[in-house]
Amino acid sequence: MEIYSRNKIKIRLSGERLNHILSNHPEMVEFVLDLPKVIENPDIIFEGENKEYIAVKSRNSFHLVVVYREASKEDGFVITAFKTRSIQYLLKRKIIWKKTL
């Protein structure tokens, strides 16, 4: 599966990272196929603390969050992903990109 960020950089989701996500966030099992959509078509992207991107896709009662890093102009990788009811804590971060309505 090929995933590209908003910056058109290929983002890898390795088996090791997928296992990490599912082990630490079992609620993500039903959303595995949505992870590429969060990266490729997020509602908003926040700046992380260590040069990572935090992509968020909102649903009716929750948000899917994928944290990834663009390591170079050609390559990047997923760090983690999770589901949350609130992104209030993220709103304190710098917004890198936001979908226009």
| pLDDT tens-digit readout, 11-44 | 999 999 999 999 999 999 999 999 999 999 999 9
Q: What is the per-residue pLDDT for 1?
A: 67
Task: Give the fold, CATH level 3, of 3-86.
Answer: Nuclear Transport Factor 2; Chain: A, (3.10.450)
67-98 per-position pLDDT tens digit: 999 999 999 999 999 999 999 999 999 999 99
Global pTM value: 0.95
**Residue ranges covered by each domain of the chain:** 3-86
Write b or e for each residue in 67-101: b if 16 or more Cβ atoms lie within 10 A of its Cβ, otherwise e: bbbbeeeeebbbbbbeeeeebeebeeeeebbeeee
Half-sphere exposure of 63 (CA within 13 A, CB side): 20
- Per-residue confidence (pLDDT) for residue 24, from 0 to 100: 97
